[in-house]
Amino acid sequence: MYQKRFRNAGPSGPQRQFHYRGKPGRKDGGFRGGAGRRSPGGGFARHIDVSKFINKATITEKTAHFVPEHSFTDFQIDNRLKTNIASKGYFVPTPIQDKTIPHILRGADLVGLANTGTGKTAAFLIPLINKVLLSPKEKVLIVVPTRELALQIESEFKGFSAHMNLHAVSCVGGASIVLQMKWLSKPTQFIIGTPGRLKDLMERGKIDLSKFATVVLDEADRMLDMGFIGDVKFMLSKMPACRHTLFFAATTSREVDNLIKVFLKDPVVISVKTGDTAEQVEQDVVRVPVGQNKFEILCALLRNPEFDKVLIFGKTKYGVERLARNLCAAGHVAESIHGNKNQNQRVKALRLFTDHHVKILCATDVAARGLDISGVSHVINYDTPATYEDYVHRIGRTGRAGKKGKALTFV
């Protein structure tokens, strides 16, 4: 049991002690006070067993080690694409890349299930860029749940397609639709967007999906969770019946399965999931004793040198903004990202965090999916997530690309 202690010796009061994790979570959800009471972290989270937030790493020798069947040089793709892959430092495919790229190259419909942070973006971008190189009139639609994920995919696309005269346009809410319409008026092979903005542009006559024979639904499970199923069905209905359809998701559900049955034809199903959460993410809880200040406990944790790049999740936009301001006032370097910020503000906050100009980013669940920020040492759930699925996707921001990470949940 992890019982590492920290001390809070602030000028306003005596030293206080607190610790990660006391007794294991109770079967009723682990929160004091019984039904209807709020947890110390805020919100009604009684339906999540606290023990689900605890997953201690064990020091053992792994008996199974993934050995890819291919290297990137083995794939039947354009040599320019191979050069760009190598320039990004990619030499050995991840499991999802190794298993899916050959099927996508041959044009098969595909369902890819993998934990977050396992390289799904490259798994579809690499073969689809090659597809467009072979057939320049080909057009690809990539639909994602959040603007941050769309911009991240666009950035990855630019790296893989350098010096190839290929173009992508991001169509997301919160950014100028006039500029997006201007970009769409020019030749472009890839459109990457969120359902609402894509539908808006379709209704304005700026996107004709009858010319798109390839579609990727990335984070398909999240799009359905967010209520985009109607928009997704509408867009797919406007595409050619004979098309190439790719689904990527971290979780499955009855709705996802139904969508797969309706819109994919004899899909190859590739699953490389190793469990709900990544093995390399050590998970624990921070219990807030009665009478102690939750914010002071957070500040004491953040003063520990190992907390060098920290993503903190809160429940509300106002709460996240207030938390970031309070952390700055307490001497920490923090930024925030949430739905009340415009696109430029959100991009700036993400860039500052990514480039290590700030070490703490406070976020609502808008940032829980899709963002691939390297080197996040800790994810802290300052407010308890509403569902276990939200928890899984929050903590997926650390422990990415095979690196170790830690996740702490205040209860």
H-run or E-run covering 328: helix 317-329
Dihedral angle computed from the Cα positions of residues 203, 204, 205 and 209, in that order, rounded to the nearest 10 degrees: -40
Most confident of 58-67, 184-193, 229-238, 337-346: 184-193
Residues 6+ apart with CB under 8 A from 345: none
| Amino acid found at 357 | H
| More confidently predicted of 59 and 4 | 4
Candidate from 27-36, 307-316, 357-366 with smallest mean pLDDT: 27-36
Quick one: pLDDT at residue 84? Answer: 96
Retrieve residue 76's tokens. Answer: 């039947």
Domains of the chain: 5-55+277-410 (3.40.50.300), 72-271 (3.40.50.300)
Specify the pairing of strand 110-113 against strand 190-193. unpaired
pLDDT in tens, 71-82: 899 999 999 999
pLDDT at residue 24 is higher than 80: no
46 pLDDT band, cuts 50/70/90, is very low
pLDDT at residue 294 is higher than 50: yes
Query: Across-strand partners of 375?
Result: none
Retrieve residue 179's tokens. Answer: 């500029």
Query: Across-strand partners of 168?
Result: 190
Retrieve residue 274's tokens. Answer: 């190793």
pLDDT in tens, 115-160: 767 889 999 999 999 999 999 999 999 999 988 889 999 999 999 9
- Distance (Å, whole) CA 163 – CA 90: 18
Q: Report the pLDDT averaged over residues 59-71.
A: 56
Quick one: pLDDT at residue 252? Answer: 78
Retrieve residue 2's tokens. Answer: 């992890």
DSSP string, 272-300: ---SSS-TTEEEEEE---TTS-HHHHHHH
Q: Is the pTM of this model over 0.85?
A: no
Residue with tokens 């630019």: 158
Q: Report the pLDDT averaged over residues 356-378.
A: 82
- Distance (Å, whole) CA 380 – CA 359: 13
**3-class secondary-structure state, position 94:** coil
Quick one: pLDDT at residue 198? Answer: 97
pLDDT at residue 17 is higher than 60: no
- Distance (Å, whole) CA 209 – CA 345: 31
Quick one: pLDDT at residue 168? Answer: 97
Residue with tokens 């520990």: 304
DSSP string, 323-364: HHHHHHHTT--EEEE-TTS-HHHHHHHHHHHHTTS-SEEEE-
Rg over alpha carbons for the chain, rounded to the nearest Å, is 22
How are strands ordered across the β-sheet holding 190-193?
168-171, 190-193, 140-143, 214-218, 244-249, 110-113, 268-271
Quick one: pLDDT at residue 279? Answer: 66
Candidate from 14-28, 102-116, 162-176, 274-288 with smallest mean pLDDT: 14-28
